[in-house]
């Protein structure tokens, strides 16, 4: 059996991980949420714009 494929090996690997600091984690999480909201607003505006154009030319309901 492989040495790293045991509980002891896994725990050794977990200890080697560089976990982010709380400030970095919060900062990056807020940045991701901001960009998700920005993209959601952009795509909603695109959808409203396309629906308006389709309605103007008589295709939309």
Assign 43 a pLDDT band (cuts: 50, 70, 90).
Answer: very high
| Mean pLDDT (the chain, rounded) | 91
Domain ranges of the chain: 22-61
What is the pLDDT at residue 13?
87
Residue written as token pair 């690997």: 13
> Distance between CA atoms of 2 and 53, rounded to whole angstroms?
62
Half-sphere exposure of residue 45: CA atoms within 13 angstroms, side-chain side: 6
**Cα separation, 2 vs 13, whole angstroms:** 14
Which structure tokens are listed for 17?
A: 């991980």
Assign 21 a pLDDT band (cuts: 50, 70, 90): very high
Higher pLDDT, 60 or 42: 42
Tokens of 13: 């690997």
Question: Nearest to residue 32, comparing CAs of 24, 42, 43, 21?
Answer: 24
């Amino acid at each position: 059996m492989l040495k790293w494929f045991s509980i002891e090996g896994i725990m050794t690997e977990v200890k080697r991980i560089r976990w982010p600091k709380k400030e970095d984690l919060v900062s990056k999480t807020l940045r991701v949420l901001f960009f998700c909201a920005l993209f959601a607003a952009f795509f909603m505006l695109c959808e409203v714009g396309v629906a308006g154009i389709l309605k103007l030319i008589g295709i939309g309901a």
